[in-house]
Structure 1
């Protein structure tokens, strides 16, 4: 074994402390800053006495109650539909001939950023969108359609988009979970008791799946509750969702609205706690309290699994072609299905201006994702070592997942208050810091399955032979985990490239990225430029995913060859 005071051990402990200081410690002053600013205590702005001014202005805001109801409707509807349709897809297609291509297409569909999907959604479902053009040609009515899923007052378009975008995420999270449920034995037992396969899925597997997918549903609900960027593009405007209202108050020219924005951010945090609690209560009711439907084997619900996957995957794969068409369309009059004039002039003119923005996006993503990856590995190793000892303190998953589960805009208010305490503005540093905080949990969770499936006996044998722990990790564990590490890094790059609020709020609008430009352009009327930036936003993470997949396959083949050589 090795001495705990060795230089490598001391370096590891320092890395753990640095990771905790950067990724976890700021969350507490962020929450403290949120509370203090909500109660109008902002010394940096000359407010040095606690008061309820922010809450008074919040309560008096016209349409606040309707905005809260709309926010809860969008959140609960999108989360419930995403969970239900994801299970329907799994039930109807698990291990079927079509399951392989469903699993294969998960990565590219997940790599499609939310903002890109939202811009493509506008091109499909606006009054002059592709579907209106198809309907006009089929009916012979060339007048513009009056219906639209863009900015509808009930948020139906936003619910549909969030549902379709979160289904692949839940499917991905379900892949590893379903392998833990011993499905083959479950089906054999169910069939011996007279249950059909569909009944076995709904009576035996659904309750287990629902419990294991809990944190994924929490993340989906928290995102739906607090999303701003895609809500600005396609969300309702009369009233706005609460997160968009808070964002507008924050950007208001009158500085007095800052306390209102802080109170609204705190209200959003309370709504998130309420939402997650309701999801947990619903799970308890379905799995524990209302057990009659589990023991009654006569009924099973018909779920639209095949239809769901065709709609979800079909629309996702249709987004890129429609964006590409708009990016080169010089003239595209309604109701023509294709542009009547084509031009690459928009690409030629814009790429020169976009080079600095692309450079900003890539550099920030590379630095933040790489640092977050290092921290994720360090925290995983810390927890693994602590798990070997009884009564040891470890970092719980709920703390790690907090940036995913709490409304982003609420945490960012607190982080911004913390940044104001530093005399000199360091906008680039603050943006990197925010990206690391919000990228870290995704990378950590992406590595979670690989760490849990790793055979710890390999480490124990190597350590018992006197090999140093650092060499054990580098020579034995790293090659085994390398495919997962590369994919987790690509996930971190994708998450960082898609960050909108952290870049704007901590950068004070001084740092432009592909995502901030795409959202700004999507709010205007220039569809060609919107399509170009949406495609660029998709292309960047796709390149890194492609690189990670290629290197991952290389390491997998290399490990297989080494294993074959040893066995022979």
Structure 2
């Protein structure tokens, strides 16, 4: 008996229409999903930290509202110093980074030196805060590189002195570390604004007109460029201020311990074996939220005060404010900043391969790779966790970002100002405040899914940077290619995958490298969301920085820097390789 098989006809047109409708629905829904993904964890975290702060914590068998947490907080020895240290280090470091950024822009505006300075400082962006703190600590320590280079010929020291750095009670080490880390970010944000074709061309023309009218270059910058530039830098500045006021990695490695900054103290209370201290930690998180909110309000108020005080100077016709001397000061200051950063990195590398290295020798007596070998044998699991969490988080962030940007073009209107502000929400709200509440929720919902919890918390910080990195490139795509493809009958999903994504190959790789760098550097989200069960290179580096040998700490810090650096090298090299292969 023969069996005759009969093929079933497939309605290709209906299938294509179904997939197109599905793609369109997903794209149009993606902005709402983005808002929910950013708002719900942050808002839920804030609410979940608010309730325990007022005594309501069913997990700890406390179901009545009270001021127990705040009472314990007010009785904490040194609380005033903690708050003062957080305010001073956050505000001063942000102000210094902003002022130096403006001085560099004003002194080298329309000069080839500005691009050279950018190329020198840009690699600092990929260095995680913990690695940067370790490098700065090695440099300014009593037996650090600065003391070694100045001894004994200048200082007369034959033995390491009893210096106050790092861990000084005034927070100078923290301010130094934060300033050096945030300066390249602010400079890159400013240069990104000036790189906008229409705005950049307009401002450069206005600057030339001011020069032709007799204004010195620095005066021309502050009177012509800054009023148009500053509004576009406001959100990045506020994000920097919010982070600096509630930072954990930098103060934990460089700051004092008696007492520490408020954010570090809150972290210690939350991780204490006495679970009742979590009530006090929740109250402290609300205090940190108030401190950061107060600093943001102070900054915005300072804007208005500066505008009132200096509005007349914009139109008073004065063309010179000692610009020659300020330019020389800026050159010296820029040289010092770059030298300090380079010396920090050189010292870090030397400690990682140093054998016996007595003070005050500027160079080790011998070099060895033993520290790398022993560290690599122990960092298998942390390295795997770091890569896995970073890859999953970044992939999800890029997919969601691309869908949201495609939604803009399908609807033919940009995202709302509300959505633009929400993208910055996880960066503006102190992570120490909402992460504790988010951890409460995660422990109630599923305490065993540590990997998923860490990925979710990393996504809150990776997504804003990936979105901001990809948005400008996506919006600058020439729409004529998409129009031609659509006129030839290509569905929106085909236009997206076949026309737009190939043009965005290089920007997507850069955004992926940035997302990986942000994920690799996350300490507090990993520590809290993982419940201490997921070790990464960053968590191990911070732990080792407070007790292990300098050589082991240096190796972990270098691994922290190497991972994102490899990502950026691939992001810069792969497009050239593929485009060269396509042409050949």
Shift of 1:307: 2.4
User: 2:503 is matched with which residue?
Assistant: 480
Shift of 1:87: 1.1
Task: State the partner residue of 2:100.
Answer: 85
TM-fit CA distance, 1:456: 3.4
Alpha-carbon deviation of 1:319?
Answer: 2.9
Superposed counterparts of 1:33-432, under 5 Å: 33-139=48-154, 140-179=156-195, 180-181=199-200, 182-287=202-307, 290-298=310-318, 299-300=320-321, 302=326, 304-388=329-413, 396-432=419-455
CA shift in 2, pair 1:393/1:145, >3 Å: closer
Deviation at 1:410, TM superposition (A): 0.9
The 3 A distance-change label for structure 1 pair 188 and 21 is closer
Matched, 1:435 2:454: no
SS of 1:342's partner is coil
Of residues 486, 491, 508, the one that matches 1:463 is: 486
What is the TM-score with the length of structure 2 in the denominator? 0.90
1:504 matched to 2:520? The reply is: no
Tell me the CA shift for residue 471 of structure 1: 1.6
Residue 565 of structure 1 corresponds to which residue in structure 2? none
Q: Structure 2: which 5+ residue stretches go unaligned?
A: 1-16
Matched residue count: 559
- TM-score scaled by structure 1? 0.92
The 4+ residue runs of structure 1 with deviation greater than 4 A are 2-5, 13-21, 392-395, 554-559
Whole-angstrom distance in 2 between the partners of 1:366 and 1:541: 12
Distance 1:374 1:394 in 2: 22
- 458, 469, 472: which one aligns with 1:449: 472
What's the offset of the Cα at 1:457? 4.4
Contact persistence 2:38–2:426 (CA under 8 A)? no
In 1, Cα distance between equivalents of 2:384 and 2:185: 28
Q: 1:146 offset after TM fit, Å?
A: 3.1
The reply to whether residue 26 of structure 1 matches residue 41 of structure 2 is yes
The Cα offsets for residues 358-379 of structure 1, whole Å up to 9 and x where unpaired, read as 1111111111111111112222
Alpha-carbon separation, structure 1, partners of 2:72 and 2:317: 54
The question of whether the paired residues in 1 share the 8 Å contact of 2:462 and 2:519 is answered with yes
Deviations 1:46-103 (A, max 9, x none): 1212221111111222221222122111111111110110111112223324233223
Unaligned runs of at least 5 residues, structure 1: 563-568
Give the Cα–Cα distance (whole angstroms) in 1 for the partners of residues 187 and 407 of structure 2. Answer: 29
Q: 3-state DSSP class of the match of 2:355?
A: strand
CA distance in 2, matches of 1:401, 1:558: 39
- Give 1:260 deviation, angstroms: 1.0
Q: 1:477-512 CA deviation, whole Å, 9 max, x = no partner?
A: 222222111101100000000000111101110110
Match of 2:561 in 1: 538
Deviation string for 1:407-466 (max 9, x for gaps)? 111121121111122155211111111111211111111112213333334434443443
RMSD (Å) for aligned C-alpha atoms = 2.5
Quick check: 1:207–1:287 contact (8 Å CA) kept in 2? no
8 Å CA contact retained: 2:108, 2:114? yes
Per mean C-alpha deviation after superposition, the further-off stretch among 447-456 and 148-157 is 447-456
Q: CA deviation digits over 1:176-205, x for unaligned, max 9?
A: 212324233112321343322221111111
Alpha-carbon distance between aligned partners in 2 of 1:452 and 1:10, rounded to the nearest angstrom: 21
**Alpha-carbon spacing, 1:266–1:387, altered in 2? closer, same or farther (3 Å):** farther
Call closer, same or farther: CA 1:13–1:294 in 2, change over 3 Å. Answer: closer
Distance 1:555 1:447, change over 3 A: farther
The answer to which of 44-53 and 219-228 deviates more is 44-53
Structure exhibiting the larger radius of gyration computed from Cα positions: 2
Q: Deviations over 1:359-411 (max 9, x none)?
A: 1111111111111111122222234444539xx97861111111111111112
